[in-house]
Structure 1
Amino acid sequence: MTTSALRDTARAAARATLRTTLTAGGVLAVTGGATALGGLFGTRDFILHEVTVPVLAPGTLDRLRRFHADAWPTDRQDFTILHVSDLHMLAGQQLKQRWVASLANLEPDLVVNTGDNLGEKEAVPGVLRALGPLLRLPGAFVFGSNDYYAPHPVNPVNYLLGKKNPPSDVDLPWQGMRAAFIEHGWEDATHRRVDFAVDGLRLAVGGVDDPHLNRDDYDALGGGPNPEADLALGLAHAPEPRVLDEFAADGYQLAMSGHTHGGQLCLPGGRAIVTNCGIDRSRVAGLSRWSERMWLHVSNGLGTSKYVPFRVFCRPSATLVHVVERDG
């Protein structure tokens, strides 16, 4: 059996394991009163989602097989992206740290992190424990408001009414976390266009700072993605329509965001009450078409503010995105 075949077999086994044991692990591992309460409200009931996005040009995989046969055997039909977002990590959240670290067993081709990693000043080591195995893989990231500013108690009525709460005045130590990401090889896509290849697949990644805080400056990207790229990704923490429209107009094929928490406090069936941004509730989590030219994936995230530690009908998650060729 070839190295590529062995890797694909290992990936399949890892996905099967995460779909069963680890998907239920957040419930099975809950013991004691406090942990049971967390499980009841869904903050530890982690799940892996999988979606398929048909954006690669027809013939892309055949080209890759000609020049990178070891990486692209004939039975390999996708390029995988692990999308993680909104960890809102607290120092003591060891179960979350272990679950996120276990996602490395999927061996995704690329990791995309769309921000809000921190939930308190002391959480940077916990974030790095969680993401440590993933930092050994190619990756790209942008930050959100809860990378820069600590959470603070807010009026929950404002959230339900769709009103924006101002950030706190307590700075978080994001600089050291960013330095660790970059030191391990992840690309900071904040107001940058980055080109690189993974197994021969040419990627163009562009991103903006958090639109929720109006920190986005799309013009800083200086134009659209490299037209020679096989896959163009647009990253923004909050999926604000003004930014998504810019990505689509410039030719990005897939935009990726977090921020919404999938609605967090949802009605039965995961029906969101609010999105906490400008997109409609039907797009609050998962995959949708933003335009004829571009898809949008919104992660419902892995955490919550420590001041609102509840998830109702909205399990915390990461997503494995299977990027495949589109129809001719």
Structure 2
Amino acid sequence: MAGTAVKTAATALGAAAAFGAGAFAWGSLVERNRFGVRFETLPILEPGARPLTVLHLADLHLAPWQRAKIEWVRSLADLEPDLVVNTGDNLGHVEAQEALEYALAPFASAAGVYVNGSNDYVGPSYKNPLRYFTGPSKRDHKSTALDTPRLESFFQNDLGWLSLNNTARAMTIKGSNIEFFGVNDAHRGWDKLGSLPGAIETMQENVEWPPGRTGQDPITIGVTHAPYQRVLNSFVTNGADVIFAGHTHGGQVRVPGLPALVTNCDIPRDQAQGLSVWHHARRAAYLNVSAGIGTSIYAPVRFACPPEAVLVTLTAGDFSYS
């Protein structure tokens, strides 16, 4: 009997080890390269407005050798987005800038806005994955500085994107007036929420909407890299209709059918990926958190959480007949 029990235990351990090895192989070799697009629709535009498509790009963590990712990102231009929202952490390697410029070059014809994540300032470093269960990750002071000025020059001068790092901007797209505001990386404490009301007021006082659109109520879009609750609450207080965020990687390694195990911030685990509604002080805004496109080169695995870009179609709030 004892021998039978030992054999049963050994069989169970062997099966568990085989499953673990298979899961790791799937997550590191297959799923992290199963790029896909999630499609969402939000009825927030003025009645009669033309639909707008918003491509949300998050957490590319790009390394120069990741050819499949680069070509897939380029192919997203075929979706012909009216607006690109980039929520940061674009660089995954100190030598990735040229590859990133190639990957994003097809979007030069689309309007765009961006905020930075920490991996737009410093390169990645190894972290024990188990530490994420004890709370948000801490900065590694040994990280290598990245060429952030070149990155932002590319965004602003080559692509024509607007920076929303602790500021507010405005634009008109296909006849809809849109106000934007955003913050720098809240995960590193670089968000300046106290300055947002002033930035929004300055933007509203100086914006010149196209003729014939001055009576239209603009929609308001908030953009952050990391969806910390203090940021989301502030955005709702400041009138956001929809908020875009990344950073969480959707948990990156998940149990199928369950919420994210970790979020690397303080957002509830069931809102760490996907479209939801964020409530604060009797107000609310739609919240889209992307699972992101990449991973750190030191943790190249996803499980039950494939990489994604998100195409959000903004439509009129009711039906209109012309």
Structure 2 vs 1, CA of residues 163 and 319 (structure 1 numbering), >3 Å: closer, same or farther?
Answer: closer
- Whether 1:98 aligns to 2:87 is no
Paired position in structure 2 for 1:112: 85
Question: Match of 1:308, SS?
Answer: coil
Partner deviation per Cα, 1:159-201 (whole Å, 9 max, x = no partner)? 1232422234311112101101101211111111101111221
Q: Which runs of 5+ in 2 are unaligned?
A: 1-24, 205-214
Instruction: Work out the number of aligned pairs and report it.
Output: 277
- AA paired with 1:170? T
Q: In the TM superposition, what are the counterparts of 1:295-306 in structure 2 within 5 Å?
A: 295-306=286-297
- AA paired with 1:153? Y
| C-alpha distance in 2 between matches for 1:135 and 1:39 | 32
| C-alpha distance in 2 between matches for 1:252 and 1:98 | 33
Instruction: Work out whether residues 45 and 176 of structure 2, in 8 Å CA contact, stay in contact via their aligned partners in 1.
Output: no
Paired position in structure 1 for 2:308: 317
Structure 2 vs 1, CA of residues 52 and 172 (structure 1 numbering), >3 Å: closer, same or farther?
Answer: same
CA displacement at 1:270 relative to structure 2 = 5.9
Paired position in structure 2 for 1:231: 219
- Whether 1:177 aligns to 2:177 is no
| C-alpha distance in 2 between matches for 1:95 and 1:229 | 42
Instruction: Work out whether residues 43 and 317 of structure 2, in 8 Å CA contact, stay in contact via their aligned partners in 1.
Output: yes
- Whether 1:136 aligns to 2:109 is yes
- Whether 1:277 aligns to 2:265 is yes
| C-alpha distance in 2 between matches for 1:175 and 1:223 | 22
- AA paired with 1:319? V
| C-alpha distance in 2 between matches for 1:203 and 1:163 | 33
| C-alpha distance in 1 between matches for 2:175 and 2:289 | 27
| C-alpha distance in 2 between matches for 1:44 and 1:110 | 25
| C-alpha distance in 1 between matches for 2:129 and 2:181 | 33
Partner deviation per Cα, 1:207-239 (whole Å, 9 max, x = no partner)? 100000000002223154749653211111000
CA RMSD of aligned residues (A): 1.9
Question: Match of 1:209, SS?
Answer: coil
| C-alpha distance in 2 between matches for 1:188 and 1:105 | 24
- Whether 1:45 aligns to 2:20 is no
CA displacement at 1:136 relative to structure 2 = 2.3
Q: TM-score, normalised by structure 2?
A: 0.81
Structure 2 vs 1, CA of residues 60 and 248 (structure 1 numbering), >3 Å: closer, same or farther?
Answer: farther
Question: Match of 2:243, SS?
Answer: strand
- AA paired with 1:315? P
Q: In the TM superposition, what are the counterparts of 1:1-328 in structure 2 within 5 Å?
A: 40-57=29-46, 59-61=47-49, 72=50, 78-168=51-141, 169-183=143-157, 184-221=159-196, 222=198, 224=200, 226=204, 229-269=217-257, 271-291=259-279, 292-327=283-318
CA displacement at 1:139 relative to structure 2 = 0.4
| C-alpha distance in 1 between matches for 2:270 and 2:316 | 25
- AA paired with 1:121? V
Instruction: Work out whether residues 149 and 167 of structure 1, in 8 Å CA contact, stay in contact via their aligned partners in 2.
Output: no
Instruction: Work out whether residues 224 and 251 of structure 1, in 8 Å CA contact, stay in contact via their aligned partners in 2.
Output: no
Instruction: Work out whether residues 60 and 230 of structure 1, in 8 Å CA contact, stay in contact via their aligned partners in 2.
Output: no
| C-alpha distance in 2 between matches for 1:165 and 1:261 | 16
- AA paired with 2:299? V
Q: Which deviates further from its counterpart, 141-150 or 40-49? A: 40-49
The structure number with the bigger radius of gyration is 2
- Percent identity, aligned pairs only? 39
- AA paired with 2:96? A
Question: Match of 1:232, SS?
Answer: strand
Q: Which runs of 5+ in 1 are unaligned?
A: 1-35, 62-71, 73-77
Paired position in structure 2 for 1:20: none
Partner deviation per Cα, 1:44-69 (whole Å, 9 max, x = no partner)? 10010001112223x241xxxxxxxx
- AA paired with 2:223? L
| C-alpha distance in 2 between matches for 1:286 and 1:37 | 23
Instruction: Work out whether residues 27 and 303 of structure 2, in 8 Å CA contact, stay in contact via their aligned partners in 1.
Output: no
Q: TM-score, normalised by structure 1?
A: 0.80
| C-alpha distance in 2 between matches for 1:182 and 1:38 | 35
Instruction: Work out whether residues 52 and 174 of structure 2, in 8 Å CA contact, stay in contact via their aligned partners in 1.
Output: no
Question: Match of 1:140, SS?
Answer: strand
Instruction: Work out whether residues 167 and 200 of structure 2, in 8 Å CA contact, stay in contact via their aligned partners in 1.
Output: no
| C-alpha distance in 2 between matches for 1:302 and 1:135 | 20
